[in-house]
Chain A
Amino acid sequence: NAGVMQNPRHLVRRRGQEARLRCSPMKGHSHVYWYRQLPEEGLKFMVYLQKENIIDESGMPKERFSAEFPKEGPSILRIQQVVRGDSAAYFCASSPPAGWETQYFGPGTRLLVL
Protein backbone atom coordinates (compact mmCIF):
# COMPACT_ATOMS: atom_id res chain seq x y z
CA ASN A 1 0.00 0.00 0.00
CA ALA A 2 1.79 3.08 -1.22
CA GLY A 3 2.02 6.02 1.14
CA VAL A 4 1.29 9.64 0.37
CA MET A 5 3.15 10.67 -2.76
CA GLN A 6 4.25 14.13 -3.66
CA ASN A 7 5.91 15.45 -6.78
CA PRO A 8 8.12 16.97 -7.67
CA ARG A 9 10.39 16.42 -4.69
CA HIS A 10 12.40 19.51 -5.57
CA LEU A 11 11.24 22.49 -7.59
CA VAL A 12 13.22 25.55 -8.61
CA ARG A 13 11.40 28.59 -9.91
CA ARG A 14 12.37 32.16 -10.72
CA ARG A 15 10.48 35.03 -9.22
CA GLY A 16 7.21 35.60 -11.06
CA GLN A 17 6.82 32.04 -12.30
CA GLU A 18 4.15 29.59 -11.23
CA ALA A 19 4.71 26.57 -9.01
CA ARG A 20 2.46 23.52 -9.09
CA LEU A 21 2.81 20.95 -6.34
CA ARG A 22 1.03 17.62 -6.54
CA CYS A 23 -0.13 15.25 -3.85
CA SER A 24 -1.61 11.79 -4.22
CA PRO A 25 -3.16 10.61 -0.95
CA MET A 26 -2.95 7.11 0.40
CA LYS A 27 -5.40 4.65 -1.07
CA GLY A 28 -8.76 5.00 0.59
CA HIS A 29 -8.03 8.46 1.96
CA SER A 30 -10.33 11.24 0.84
CA HIS A 31 -9.00 14.05 3.03
CA VAL A 32 -5.93 16.05 2.11
CA TYR A 33 -4.07 18.70 4.08
CA TRP A 34 -1.30 21.02 2.94
CA TYR A 35 1.35 22.45 5.26
CA ARG A 36 4.32 24.74 4.81
CA GLN A 37 7.55 24.37 6.72
CA LEU A 38 10.23 27.02 6.89
CA PRO A 39 13.78 26.00 7.90
CA GLU A 40 14.03 24.96 11.55
CA GLU A 41 10.37 25.62 12.16
CA GLY A 42 7.30 23.49 12.69
CA LEU A 43 4.68 22.88 10.07
CA LYS A 44 2.06 25.54 9.47
CA PHE A 45 -1.37 24.51 8.28
CA MET A 46 -2.47 25.96 4.96
CA VAL A 47 -5.57 24.22 3.65
CA TYR A 48 -7.79 21.18 4.19
CA LEU A 49 -9.62 19.62 1.28
CA GLN A 50 -11.94 16.76 0.59
CA LYS A 51 -12.77 15.55 -2.88
CA GLU A 52 -13.99 18.55 -4.87
CA ASN A 53 -14.37 20.67 -1.73
CA ILE A 54 -12.23 23.10 0.21
CA ILE A 55 -13.12 22.59 3.85
CA ASP A 56 -10.75 25.04 5.52
CA GLU A 57 -8.31 27.42 3.85
CA SER A 58 -7.74 29.64 6.84
CA GLY A 59 -3.98 29.12 6.73
CA MET A 60 -3.50 29.92 3.10
CA PRO A 61 -2.44 33.39 1.90
CA LYS A 62 -5.33 35.19 0.26
CA GLU A 63 -3.38 36.03 -2.87
CA ARG A 64 -1.38 33.91 -5.29
CA PHE A 65 -2.11 30.61 -3.52
CA SER A 66 -4.83 28.17 -4.46
CA ALA A 67 -5.55 24.51 -3.91
CA GLU A 68 -7.81 21.92 -5.40
CA PHE A 69 -8.60 18.25 -4.99
CA PRO A 70 -10.55 17.11 -8.05
CA LYS A 71 -12.74 14.07 -8.26
CA GLU A 72 -10.05 12.35 -10.27
CA GLY A 73 -6.35 12.89 -9.90
CA PRO A 74 -4.05 14.36 -7.30
CA SER A 75 -4.50 17.40 -5.12
CA ILE A 76 -2.74 20.47 -6.49
CA LEU A 77 -1.27 23.38 -4.57
CA ARG A 78 -0.67 26.23 -6.95
CA ILE A 79 1.44 29.27 -6.25
CA GLN A 80 1.28 32.03 -8.82
CA GLN A 81 3.95 34.70 -9.31
CA VAL A 82 6.26 33.14 -6.76
CA VAL A 83 8.45 35.32 -4.57
CA ARG A 84 11.58 34.40 -2.62
CA GLY A 85 9.57 34.22 0.58
CA ASP A 86 7.66 31.27 -0.88
CA SER A 87 10.79 29.15 -0.63
CA ALA A 88 9.96 26.39 1.82
CA ALA A 89 9.11 22.73 2.12
CA TYR A 90 5.48 21.99 1.35
CA PHE A 91 4.03 18.87 2.86
CA CYS A 92 0.84 17.11 2.04
CA ALA A 93 -0.92 14.77 4.43
CA SER A 94 -3.94 12.54 4.01
CA SER A 95 -6.38 10.82 6.30
CA PRO A 96 -9.35 8.52 5.92
CA PRO A 97 -12.85 9.99 6.23
CA ALA A 98 -13.29 8.86 9.82
CA GLY A 99 -9.71 9.29 10.96
CA TRP A 100 -8.76 12.91 10.56
CA GLU A 101 -6.74 12.80 13.77
CA THR A 102 -4.02 10.63 12.28
CA GLN A 103 -2.58 12.24 9.23
CA TYR A 104 -0.02 10.49 7.10
CA PHE A 105 2.52 12.80 5.56
CA GLY A 106 4.19 12.70 2.20
CA PRO A 107 7.92 13.34 1.67
CA GLY A 108 7.34 16.97 0.77
CA THR A 109 8.22 19.26 -2.09
CA ARG A 110 11.11 21.62 -1.52
CA LEU A 111 10.49 24.83 -3.42
CA LEU A 112 13.34 27.19 -4.09
CA VAL A 113 12.60 30.55 -5.62
CA LEU A 114 15.58 32.26 -7.19
Chain B
Amino acid sequence: GESVGLHLPTLSVQEGDNSIINCAYSNSASDYFIWYKQESGKGPQFIIDIRSNMDKRQGQRVTVLLNKTVKHLSLQIAATQPGDSAVYFCAEISGGSYIPTFGRGTSLIVHP
Protein backbone atom coordinates (compact mmCIF):
# COMPACT_ATOMS: atom_id res chain seq x y z
CA GLY B 1 0.00 0.00 0.00
CA GLU B 2 0.97 3.63 -0.11
CA SER B 3 3.12 4.82 2.74
CA VAL B 4 5.26 7.61 4.02
CA GLY B 5 8.38 6.73 5.92
CA LEU B 6 11.67 8.06 7.19
CA HIS B 7 15.10 6.63 6.49
CA LEU B 8 16.72 7.30 9.87
CA PRO B 9 14.98 7.00 13.20
CA THR B 10 17.64 8.98 15.12
CA LEU B 11 20.02 11.73 14.05
CA SER B 12 22.66 13.14 16.38
CA VAL B 13 24.47 16.36 15.51
CA GLN B 14 26.67 18.92 17.17
CA GLU B 15 25.38 22.39 17.89
CA GLY B 16 26.09 24.63 14.93
CA ASP B 17 26.12 21.84 12.38
CA ASN B 18 23.58 21.58 9.61
CA SER B 19 21.03 18.78 9.91
CA ILE B 20 19.31 16.90 7.14
CA ILE B 21 16.26 14.77 7.82
CA ASN B 22 14.99 12.58 5.01
CA CYS B 23 11.60 11.21 4.10
CA ALA B 24 10.45 8.84 1.37
CA TYR B 25 6.94 8.65 0.07
CA SER B 26 5.38 6.21 -2.33
CA ASN B 27 2.06 7.82 -3.26
CA SER B 28 2.64 9.47 -6.62
CA ALA B 29 -0.66 11.31 -6.17
CA SER B 30 0.70 13.28 -3.21
CA ASP B 31 0.81 16.94 -4.02
CA TYR B 32 1.33 18.60 -0.67
CA PHE B 33 3.93 17.90 1.97
CA ILE B 34 4.41 19.20 5.48
CA TRP B 35 7.16 18.96 8.06
CA TYR B 36 6.21 18.98 11.73
CA LYS B 37 8.34 19.26 14.84
CA GLN B 38 7.21 17.55 18.00
CA GLU B 39 8.93 18.28 21.27
CA SER B 40 8.60 15.91 24.18
CA GLY B 41 5.17 16.10 25.76
CA LYS B 42 3.81 18.51 23.18
CA GLY B 43 1.76 18.39 20.03
CA PRO B 44 3.23 18.61 16.53
CA GLN B 45 4.17 22.08 15.40
CA PHE B 46 4.04 23.12 11.76
CA ILE B 47 7.49 23.98 10.39
CA ILE B 48 7.27 24.31 6.65
CA ASP B 49 5.30 22.99 3.71
CA ILE B 50 5.81 22.51 0.00
CA ARG B 51 3.59 21.75 -2.95
CA SER B 52 4.44 19.29 -5.66
CA ASN B 53 4.90 22.05 -8.24
CA MET B 54 7.94 23.25 -6.30
CA ASP B 55 11.38 21.73 -5.76
CA LYS B 56 12.55 23.88 -2.90
CA ARG B 57 11.16 26.18 -0.27
CA GLN B 58 13.02 28.12 2.36
CA GLY B 59 12.00 29.37 5.74
CA GLN B 60 13.90 30.73 8.68
CA ARG B 61 16.91 28.39 9.08
CA VAL B 62 14.94 25.59 7.40
CA THR B 63 14.76 24.43 3.81
CA VAL B 64 12.57 21.73 2.36
CA LEU B 65 13.62 19.96 -0.83
CA LEU B 66 11.29 17.84 -2.91
CA ASN B 67 12.50 15.35 -5.50
CA LYS B 68 9.45 14.00 -7.26
CA THR B 69 11.47 11.73 -9.51
CA VAL B 70 12.57 9.56 -6.61
CA LYS B 71 9.71 10.52 -4.30
CA HIS B 72 11.99 11.97 -1.68
CA LEU B 73 11.56 14.86 0.71
CA SER B 74 14.17 16.38 2.98
CA LEU B 75 14.28 18.97 5.72
CA GLN B 76 17.49 20.91 6.18
CA ILE B 77 18.09 22.82 9.38
CA ALA B 78 20.95 25.31 9.30
CA ALA B 79 23.12 25.99 12.34
CA THR B 80 21.27 23.47 14.47
CA GLN B 81 20.62 24.54 18.04
CA PRO B 82 19.82 22.54 21.18
CA GLY B 83 16.28 23.86 20.95
CA ASP B 84 15.91 22.01 17.66
CA SER B 85 16.06 18.70 19.50
CA ALA B 86 12.73 17.02 18.84
CA VAL B 87 11.04 14.40 16.70
CA TYR B 88 10.44 15.51 13.14
CA PHE B 89 7.61 14.11 11.06
CA CYS B 90 6.94 14.45 7.39
CA ALA B 91 3.35 14.23 6.26
CA GLU B 92 1.84 14.01 2.84
CA ILE B 93 -1.58 14.84 1.49
CA SER B 94 -2.68 13.42 -1.80
CA GLY B 95 -4.76 15.31 -4.30
CA GLY B 96 -8.39 15.57 -3.32
CA SER B 97 -7.76 14.65 0.29
CA TYR B 98 -7.48 16.80 3.38
CA ILE B 99 -6.02 14.25 5.73
CA PRO B 100 -2.24 14.12 6.17
CA THR B 101 -0.52 10.76 6.35
CA PHE B 102 2.33 10.92 8.81
CA GLY B 103 5.60 9.09 8.69
CA ARG B 104 7.08 7.40 11.75
CA GLY B 105 9.36 10.28 12.72
CA THR B 106 13.06 11.01 13.16
CA SER B 107 14.46 11.96 16.50
CA LEU B 108 16.97 14.80 16.22
CA ILE B 109 19.42 15.12 19.09
CA VAL B 110 21.58 18.22 19.21
CA HIS B 111 24.65 18.05 21.42
CA PRO B 112 25.95 21.34 22.85
Contact = CB atoms under 8 A, between A and B. Distances in A.
A48 B102 contact: no
A108 B43 contact: yes
Interface stretch (B14-22, B53-61, B74-82, B93-101): B93-101
A45 B99 contact: yes
Q: Is the interface of A mostly helix, strand, loop or mixed?
A: loop
A91 B99 contact: no
A102 B99 contact: no
A66 interface: no
Given A40-B105, A42-B105, A104 B100 contact: no
B102 A43 contact: yes
Contact of A41 (B41, B46, B49, B105): B105
Given A45-B99, A56-B99, A101-B49, A40 B104 contact: yes
A35 to B, nearest CB: 8
A4 interface: yes
Contacts of A43: 44, 89, 102
Given A45-B100, A56-B99, A105 B43 contact: yes
Given A101-B49, A101-B93, A102-B49, A42 B102 contact: yes
Interface string A16-59: 00000000000000000100000011111100100000001001
B4 to A, nearest CB: 8
Interface of A: 4, 33, 40-45, 48, 56, 59, 91, 93, 100-108
Q: Which 8 A-B pairs have the closest CB atoms?
A: A42-B102, A105-B43, A100-B98, A43-B102, A105-B44, A45-B99, A107-B43, A108-B43
Interface of B: 4, 32, 34, 36, 41-46, 49, 89, 91, 93, 98-105
Given A56-B99, A91-B44, 6 more contacts: A40-B104, A40-B105, A59-B99, A93-B43, A105-B43, A105-B45
